[in-house]
Chain A
Amino acid sequence: MNDRRGLLVWGASGHGKVVLECARAMSSFEPVSFIDDAYTIEGEFFGTPVLGTRACLAPALVRQYPNMVIAIGDNLSRAECFSVAVTWGFRLVTVIHPSAVVSCSALLGPGSVVIAGAIINANSTIGSNCIINTGATVGHDCSVGDHVHIAPHVALAGETRIGDYAHIGIGAVAVQQTVVGEHAVVGAGAVLVENVPPHVTVVGVPAHIVRQQARTVFDALSEVGSE
């Protein structure tokens, strides 16, 4: 309890499992438990205790589990939980799977998660509370904002800039120096050859705008799905 290695993973879901395994693979955290807003009573998920909802957060818990990481795919929900965790005084830790490659000149913000097989190259900056998912690659000199989700197998070429809260869908590719605005949603498999304004959804090869003002990431994704 006193060695300050306890870790809470917020979100007992599929993505939560992946983050939990990344944290375990780092061998830096013990004990590790979940909290999840769907667990009104204490329970267990994936062989790991779920202590309850955010209502169980208390100073004693922060002492037992000084470290926190948010494992929720939706950017806005993840950001909201992030601010709650910061308010409680948790240390938002960066979780990097040992099989990921992160350049020693890259910077990662607090609470960001780098899943297995991802690559972050020289001089790139990743903001706080981001997800760099399975096998995604971030080229040199990229700048990724806060609360961004880079889905599996996305490839960002060098000097790409991604705004806060953007969602880059599975397998999307951005050419060098692309700028993606905040809250933008990039559809799965899209190829970005020009800049993406804030608050739009783009899909296709080459990517084109299909709607303005994405309300939330998941609204927008379901729109893409029904296209």
Chain B
Amino acid sequence: MILVVTATLEAEAMECIDRARLLQNQTVAPLRTSEFLEMEVPERSREAGWDEVAIAVEDNQARAALWRHADSIGLLARSLIHPSSMISPSASIGPGSVVLARAVVNASGILGRGCILGSSSSVDHDCVLGDYVHLYPGVSLGGLVNIGRFATLHESAFVLPTVTIGEGARVGVRAVVLKHVPAHVFVSGIPARRSQATQPI
């Protein structure tokens, strides 16, 4: 049985749970993050019958913390891969990553653990995504793109082939990234430039 941990238990999370049901044909139960973090003893979760966990939390740092907790209480990470997505047979998807409807991962693509690929996003050949990377819907990466852990690419951002995006960087909505992006900066626009803005557009 799979436990799905969510921040809100609102519509998005419920959709994720429905998908999980559809995919794995298994019993799925939602649980709030606060309750999950209170779950300290592995036995408790096993007694309840949960052996696997999927984490449906948007924020990269929060998701990473939840995964660390899942490790510490001995739950297995469950990846959720939508049946309409296309994962190349030569690609590898890290444990606990979520691949939503119609997303594509092409030849030799590598995703770290706990990543989120939004609906209709695409990861081209030889891309490497670090742990806890979040691609929002419609993001498209050219070939050989490298994305550092904890980076976030907002809706319909595009990245040209061979570009590297640093750890924890954020790319704004519909930005077009032509050059390497340093760690922990926010870039936006066409072509993408550094921005002090706090909103992702």
Contacts and interface: CB of A to CB of B under 8 A. Distances in A.
A227 to B, nearest CB: 6
Nearest to B162: A14
Contact of B125 (A18, A117, A151, A204): A18
B106 A188 contact: no
Contacts of A15: 125, 143
Task: Bin the interface of chain A by size.
Answer: 20 to 34
A47 to B, nearest CB: 8
B153 to A, nearest CB: 12
A14 B123 CA distance: 12
Contacts of A66: none
Nearest to B190: A189
B142 A21 contact: no
A204 B144 CA distance: 24
Interface in A9-29: 14-15, 17-18, 20-21
Contacts of B86: 97, 99, 116-117
A188 B176 contact: yes
Contact of A170 (B102, B142, B144, B179): B142
Interface residues of B, number: 31
Given A14-B144, A17-B107, A227-B191, A189 B176 contact: yes
Interface string B104-147: 10111000000000001010111000000000001011111000
Contacts of A88: none
Contacts of A84: none
B125 to A, nearest CB: 4
Given A21-B88, A227-B191, A189 B124 contact: no
Q: What's the dominant secondary structure at chain B's contact region?
A: loop
B156 interface: yes
B174 interface: yes
B104 A116 contact: yes
A153 interface: yes
Interface string A140-153: 00000000000111
Contacts of B174: 171, 189
A21 B106 contact: yes
Interface in B60-112: 86, 88-90, 102, 104, 106-108
B176 to A, nearest CB: 4
A171 B104 contact: no
Given A153-B140, A227-B191, A17 B108 contact: yes
Contacts of B178: 188, 224-225, 227
A133 B126 CA distance: 15
A187 B86 CA distance: 27
B190 A17 contact: no
B176 A135 contact: no
Contacts of A188: 158, 160, 176, 178, 190
Contacts of A79: none
Contacts of B90: 17, 21, 46
A141 B180 CA distance: 38
Given A14-B125, A99-B86, A153-B138, 17 more contacts: A14-B144, A17-B126, A97-B86, A116-B88, A116-B104, A117-B86, A133-B124, A134-B104, A134-B124, A152-B124, A152-B140, A153-B122, A171-B156, A188-B160, A188-B178, A224-B178, A227-B178
What are the 8 closest A-B residue pairs judged by CB atoms, nearest first? A189-B176, A171-B158, A17-B107, A153-B140, A14-B125, A99-B86, A116-B86, A14-B143
Interface of B: 86, 88-90, 102, 104, 106-108, 120, 122, 124-126, 138, 140-144, 156, 158-160, 174-176, 178-179, 190-191
26 contacts: A14-B108, A15-B125, A17-B108, A18-B125, A21-B90, A46-B90, A46-B107, A115-B106, A116-B86, A117-B102, A117-B104, A133-B124, A134-B122, A134-B124, A134-B140, A135-B140, A151-B142, A153-B122, A170-B142, A171-B140, A188-B190, A189-B174, A203-B190, A221-B160, A224-B191, A225-B191
